[in-house]
Amino acid sequence: MDSRIITLSINQKEKLEEFLLQAFFIQEHLDWLDLDAIINEGYCYLLIEKEEAVAALGFTENSPGVFWIQFFYTKNPYKKIRKRWNILYSYAKSHFLFYQPLIASLPTSKIFEEILNSNGYCFFEEFLQLECHLLKANMNPSETNDITIRNMYMDDINSVTILCEKAFSPLWRLTKKNLINAYKQSDYAIVAENNEKTIIGYLLGVTEDHSAHLSRIAVDPFIQNSGLGFLLLNHFIKHYQELGIADFSVNTPSRNLAAIALYKKAGFFITGESIPVYVLNIR
């Protein structure tokens, strides 16, 4: 078959956009990134058959040596999904061998989950969904003169990035670019500062269909279990309640027991809906 693979550059973005109008199988996990950001990472591939784009695969490196599958798209026919995946994935994987990476994915369909299994990926944990309905504040965290809660600004991104590296395992860290996008897409963003003006916590929230979603929360590991996470969560809930919002949601990895306990303490419950997390360790 007359086929070839293009490693896309930002100048070829239109090729990908034109193809997406015809794609029928879609696997996406874009975080807060847009196509420009993913293409600029340099790990975006387009499969061409008989001079026609038929499949696309994109990765990002969220932390050194940790890659996430951001998308896989393909055109009809259905029976060629796996074949086209194998062609693109083999090509991409050959570029990653130098890094000996950990590659992760959140499959959003059974088909893609089967594809990951057949390529040596292993189930790692669940990405849980939690929700709550709160008509009025029912939280009474202890305020402290040692900590200031204020709005987050773009100038805080470097400090928040450093905090992110401390607070999360490599698999769940966000790059500075990802944090900037998350911040821009949020309609509520706060940080916690200590007396030395060091950022020791942050929270991002966004409204979704008349509800509020907690996008991201982190506390410096040196002061975890101090009640700061509960304090940030209280500010989040009160802010949206004042806007007339009573429904809240958050997603968290199933292994993060401390976060699950925090959310339950605030009134959240596990809905039973989740997305599996699969990883492949080439190290």
pLDDT tens sequence across 2-34: 789 999 999 999 999 999 998 989 899 877 778
**pLDDT for residue 137:** 60
Provide the β-strand partners of residue 3: 49
What amino acid is encoded at 129 in this protein? Q
- Whether 3-120 and 128-277 share one fold: the answer is yes
Would you kindly state where each structural domain of the chain is located, as residue ranges?
3-120, 128-277
Closest CA to 152 of 161, 141, 143: 161
Closest CA to 149 of 213, 234, 221: 234
- The architecture (CATH level 2) of 3-120 comes to 3-Layer(aba) Sandwich (3.40)
Mean pLDDT of 265-272: 96
Lowest mean pLDDT among 36-45, 121-130, 232-241: 36-45
What is residue 232's three-state secondary structure?
helix
Per-residue DSSP letter, 107: -
What amino acid is encoded at 205 in this protein? G
Q: What would the two tokens of residue 49 be? A: 């058959």
Length of the chain measured in residues: 283
Model-level pTM? 0.89
Lowest mean pLDDT among 11-15, 76-80, 101-105, 136-140: 136-140
Tell me which of 3.40.50.2300, 3.40.50.10210, 3.40.630.30, 3.40.605.10 is the CATH number of domain 128-277.
3.40.630.30
For the stretch 199-234, pLDDT in tens is 999 999 999 889 999 999 999 999 988 899 999 999
Closest CA to 56 of 43, 44, 65: 44
Query: Are 228 and 263 in contact, with CB atoms under 8 Å apart?
Result: no
pLDDT tier at 61 (50, 70, 90 boundaries)? confident
Query: Are 188 and 239 in contact, with CB atoms under 8 Å apart?
Result: yes
Checking if the pLDDT of 152 tops 90, the result is yes
